[in-house]
Chain A
């Protein structure tokens, strides 16, 4: 009988590059930047690492389809390195590989590095990607904002919310994240914005305007994991362990069966429930201290508040406007600025979210530090509302 991941794996060290338009860097330099910080934080040497995972998505503009980019760049001692990719949830997938390897007892120390160099593609947004041989013949030529924007149309119809009210609520989501990002020196965008600016920005995909969309950035993040016992033996204080690590993938229901109404993420609801069970959380609204969710677009964050079973169904609008998820709210959401301010270098984002939760749990988040946080959740989503990969991870203090 499986017993779950809770408290079997500890985070030994983490690192995160400065995110942004890193014209000075390639993927290799970004990986080194995140890795060296993590290595110093862990207090170990490269030769102690026994297995590695590299998460990166747009391989054609980055580092190729294997783990060689990581092993070569970090001069890893000929250990197993696995490259993983699961759309925008790739970062969480890399972390999962490393955590499971340690939990399985296959190795004592493993590393996960996520990276994406997006700003060499020449695109303002995400580059247009292949839709596959059948997809190219049937799927609309959708952009990511156009895919996610559809949530708004379905949410409005389902909950009888008018266009302006929803637009205002999702604008609040972005205003809040920008306020948080302004306090984060590693964020790409470190500037506050006003509600008026968000509401009046040019439309990218109806009803999402420019400030409803996350930035496009380069970045890397890194996590080094081990067992709590080893971490303790190394003299580590304030040990942070993995409490839950869940991944739910669509199976075609949303895209082919009329039971889904398009206003929420079917997978997120499942992954969140499983994660709470795994972590032993009964009431997430009361027990979670903070969350980092996949705010690729403001509407995505908005509906995710319900999908994580924190806001009641139809209740996100009130919670968001009440400031429940603001930096000083009951559960801070995107306390680091989120994808909104970090941008979304695909392979790095999932690990970057964990980085902030880890810093907060260790009391090292500087001006963003929350008062005595105990549990942090990350939600990392790949794909679109009707077909996606949804990761929910929870980390917390080790007792």
Chain B
């Protein structure tokens, strides 16, 4: 049986109030007021589609032997690198094996389901045993646009395999049509959209039913067999109408999470799939529909194994971990939509020595340190000579993965002098409970509530932007865990 063996999700903690968007922009576009309800997810300044993908992948790989993963497909139309494989960065950051096929998929809002189909095909063909499919998007839009209201940032991941399947893959259908509802040309920052009524009436209404019909026919299922209809769509009631037309029960139509996070681009079909898996009982049918220059439709049936999947944050857990942001200026700043005074300390050259990055890639991207095989001391970074003053053994260390080790704050400060996009910069020494420590930046903290002894979770984040060269540095940061979390 081929199917989904695990899932994971990620939604940034910050949620921008849509009312804040409307209030800031209604002087120019009063129509936005009607959209100013609920909230949308918003990347912190140090998050992008890669960092979110890494989190979703880590969530998905909870309890999984990471070295067993032998394929990774990454979908996004907002990947930070146009020519440097993004999937490879995720693989290194999540400590996957180098004996791995890697694939970036983009260029359409359908890329998430296309990646899922690619992963399923690899496993079905017997070429790969465990394919990790990750979709993530951090979509930029013009200030005061409808897209700014509707979009959200997020990621989701599923693992495809043949044993321990929690949702059996039943089949799929794809219709490919060059229907240009929007596009983003090479080198362009933002999407260009055509009229919504045309997209609704000529696009969604005519293309999606063809794919749904084909998928149902292929799998021999009737519409009313579908228990969860997961279809991203920002037009109100559109998903309900399409479901109705296919004979799918109204109750099966899933919440598109507009109120909680907005639509997360290529990730959203997978976000909704993961949310469905979180709600589903064994034996239920899930239909995933994704529109973009055509339409992908996939069908899954959950199994009894769903009940025994180890606990994880998933989409639900991340949606619950929220912090409201009402400062629209902060959103503009984090998304590079305003020109700000940064001060002299922001001027330094941010060049990366790529040879160093390569030599230290496991340390920097994967947070791999050392464990001394003579005395057992864990240490970061891994070094030629053991740091234990009673050992100092030479060349005694083996790799040790620190990213999931429990850790806490030993010392910290909140620095108003140094340059950061979101001052004051919080950083400090983080010690791992089982040994090892490192000085690192903090992120997603509550200002005024950081203190020595707090537990932290480590997260892969953007360390610095090299705007001069279009490069981004990534490293691991500490997220102080609030007591109730």
Q: Which 10 A/B pairs are nearest by Cβ-Cβ distance?
A: A146-B415, A150-B411, A149-B413, A140-B427, A157-B452, A262-B411, A206-B414, A143-B418, A143-B417, A133-B353
- Say whether B241 faces chain A, with CB atoms less than 8 Å apart: no
Which residue in B415, B420, B464, B475 is a CB contact (below 8 Å) of A205? B415
Given A122-B344, A257-B377 in contact, is the A140-B451 Cβ separation under 8 Å? Answer: no
Q: How far is the CA of A156 from the CA of B412 in the complex (A)?
A: 12
Tell which of B352, B353, B417, B425 has the most Cβ of chain A within 10 Å.
B417
* Among B389, B416, B424, contact of A253 (Cβ-Cβ < 8 Å): B389
Given the complex, which residues of B lie within 8 Å of A203, measured CB to CB? 414, 416, 424
| Min CB–CB distance A6 → chain B (angstroms) | 29
The complex places the Cα of A128 from the Cα of B346 at a distance, in Å, of: 9
Is A259 interfacial (CB-CB < 8 Å)?
yes
**Interface-side segment among B9-17, B202-210, B333-341, B434-442:** B434-442
Q: How far is the CA of A93 from the CA of B27 in the complex (A)?
A: 64
With A133-B353, A149-B415, A386-B429 as known contacts, state yes or no: A140 contacts B439, CB within 8 Å. yes
Complex Cα distance, B431 from A202, in Å, reads 30
> What CA separation (Å) do A152 and B414 show in the bound complex?
12
Nearest residue (CB) in B for A259 is B389
From A147, A208, A385, name the one whose CB has the most chain B CB atoms within 10 angstroms.
Answer: A147
Chain B residues within 8 Å of A147, by CB: 413
Least Cβ–Cβ distance between B462 and chain A, in angstroms: 12
State whether A150 touches B437 (Cβ < 8 A). Answer: no
Interchain residue pairs with CB less than 8 A apart (18): A122-B344, A125-B417, A136-B353, A136-B473, A137-B364, A140-B440, A141-B425, A149-B413, A150-B412, A157-B451, A205-B413, A206-B414, A252-B383, A253-B389, A255-B437, A255-B438, A256-B387, A258-B431
Provide the B335-379 mask, 1 if CB < 8 A to any CB of A, else 0: 000000000110110111100110010011000000000000101
What residues on A are CB-neighbors of B419 within 8 Å?
128, 141
Among B81-102, those with CB < 8 Å from A are: none
Question: Are B364 and A146 in contact, CB atoms less than 8 angstroms apart?
Answer: no
Between B379, B383, B389, B429, the greatest number of chain A beta carbons within 10 A of the residue's beta carbon is seen for B429
A382 within 8 Å of B by Cβ? no
Q: Are B439 and A255 in contact (CB under 8 A)?
A: yes
Interface size on A, residues (CB 8 A): 43
Min CB gap B414→A, angstroms = 4
A141 nearest CB across to chain B (Å)? 5
Q: Nearest-CB distance from B278 to chain A (Å)?
A: 36
Contact A153 B417 (CB under 8 A): no
Flag whether B250 is at the interface (Cβ < 8 A). Answer: no
- Given A137-B475, A253-B387, A258-B431, does the pair A146, B439 have CB atoms closer than 8 Å? no
**Complex CA distance for A388 and B107, rounded to whole angstroms:** 50
Of residues 250 to 299 in A, which have CB atoms within 8 Å of B's CB atoms?
252-253, 255-259, 261-263
B356–A256 touching, CB < 8 Å: no
**Judging by beta carbons under 8 Å apart, are B348 and A128 in contact?**
yes
Could you mark each residue 432-461 of chain B with 1 if its beta carbon is under 8 Å from any beta carbon of chain A, else 0?
A: 100111111100000000011100000000
The smallest beta-carbon distance between B45 and chain A, in angstroms, is 13
Is B410's CB within 8 Å of the partner chain A? yes
Q: Does B388 sit at the interface, judged by CB under 8 A?
A: yes
A139: CB under 8 A from chain B?
yes
The residue of chain B having its C-beta at the shortest distance from the C-beta of A213 within the complex is B417
Give every chain A residue within 8 A of B431 (Cβ-Cβ): 258
Interface: A134 (CB within 8 A): yes
A252 to B377, CA, bound (A): 14
> Which residues of A have CB within 8 Å of B413?
145-147, 149-150, 152-153, 205-206, 208
CB-defined contacts of B414 to chain A, threshold 8 Å? 146, 203, 205-206
Residues of A with C-beta under 8 A to B435: 258
When C-beta atoms are compared, the residue in chain A nearest to B348 turns out to be A128
Minimal beta-carbon separation of A151 from chain B (angstroms): 7
Q: Is A23 an interface residue (CB 8 A)?
A: no
A154 within 8 A of B: yes
- Residues in B with CB closer than 8 Å to A253 are 387, 389
Return chain B residues, CB-CB under 8 Å to A202.
416
Known: A138-B364, A257-B388, A258-B431. A206 touches B344 (CB 8 A): no
| A255 vs B369: C-alpha distance when bound (angstroms) | 13
**Minimum Cβ distance to chain B for residue A178 (Å):** 21
Residues of chain B within 8 A (CB-CB) of A205 are 413-417, 424
Q: How far is the CA of A145 from the CA of B418 in the complex (A)?
A: 9
